[in-house]
Amino acid sequence: MLNCLSGKIVVIGFGNMGKALVRGLQCRNQNIEIYVCDRFELNPNEDYPRDIDFNKLTYLSYNDLKNVKSNLRLSEKDSVIFCVKPQNFLEAVERWKPILLGGESHPLVISILAGVPTELIHKYFSNDCPVIRCMPNIASTVDCSASALCASKRTSNNYLDRAKHIFDSVGKTWVVNEDQLDAVTGLSGSGPAYIYMIIEALSDGGVKMGLSRQLSLELATQTVLGAAKLVQETRLHPAVLRDQVTTPGGTTISAIHELEKHGLRPMLISAVVTATEKSASLAQLVERKIIKSNSDTFKE
């Protein structure tokens, strides 16, 4: 890990994902050199993650770009991570590209922007820098993200290794083909929302049957957490584990029958399919917007 992360890491955007990455990287790599570029000044009243060590973090201000450029030199050992919203991508590129790409420097560029293909990142940030896309999820904030990575066609595998080490700091990471990222978005990117609804519904069921709201919520949450951990640690198929708690003629099989009757399984499958298709359509929309924005800027 130390070899993969021996260079500087520049995080553009200090929202939830940017903060999660900084915290995770600092916790696992005490000597790592991290820079944060953001549109906003640090707010001492904001509730930042407690594990972030601001004494070991260099915050780059939009208001002092001349000083930033004179003090920040990047090379192929370094990494730049875009943690901005897709609609802010071009603004971030226009502001930071002249600062981060000087001379012959070709740092690794990593994007977590949904719907922005690697080739567009090459086109608007650099044709020469290696480019990787990542789709993490909200569980990054508690070091439990399910992240998927893909590299552009002109990016070598050693850069994938570096990116994987970065995102492993906030969870688990898989390498996929870029044409699979929409499905990743539909499954793990949006997936936490589906599970939140399941936890809420289980909790409501407990309340309906006479349990307090707090107890119901805690039982539902721990049940989901424990069930997931069993799948992860035993590596048994969920159907096998389900059979282990399904007593003939018992309560669980009666409940499973009810769930099947009301279509829980096809509803969740459809949710993943719908989110995947939406992600694909958003990708096309984002691309059109970026191209239009770039064209309008060129005309001006």
pLDDT band at residue 66 using 50, 70 and 90 as cut-offs: low
Q: Binding site: which residues?
A: 12-17, 71
Taking the whole predicted model, whether its pTM rises above 0.85 is answered as yes
pLDDT tens digits, one per residue of 134-164: 999 999 999 999 999 999 999 988 899 999 9
CA–CA dist 5, 9 (Å, integer): 8
Most confident of 52-61, 115-124, 250-259: 250-259
Q: Which residue has the tokens 């890990």?
A: 1
Each domain of the chain, given as residue ranges in start order, spans 9-186, 190-262
* Radius of gyration over every alpha carbon of the chain, rounded to an integer in angstroms: 22
**Tokens standing for 117?**
């293909």
Do 190-262 and 9-186 fall under one CATH topology? no
Q: Binding site for NADPH: which residues?
A: 71
Q: Lowest-pLDDT range, 58-62, 80-84, 156-160, 259-263?
A: 58-62
CA–CA dist 235, 232 (Å, integer): 5
CATH: 3.30.2320.20, 3.40.190.290, 3.30.70.100, 3.40.50.720. Which one for 9-186?
A: 3.40.50.720
CA–CA dist 129, 105 (Å, integer): 8
pLDDT tens digits, one per residue of 268-299: 999 999 999 998 887 677 777 666 665 655 45
pLDDT tens digits, one per residue of 249-260: 999 999 999 999
Residue 227 phi, psi (nearest 5): -65, -45
Q: What is the dihedral of CA 139, 143, 146, 148, to 10 degrees?
A: 120
Q: Binding site for NADP(+): which residues?
A: 12-17
CA–CA dist 227, 231 (Å, integer): 7
Helix count (H) and strand count (E) of the chain?
11, 8
Q: What does the pLDDT read at residue 296?
A: 59
Residue with more model confidence, 288 or 122: 122
Q: What share of the chain is helix, strand, coil (3-state, %, to 5)?
A: 55, 15, 30
What CATH number belongs to 190-262?
1.10.3730.10
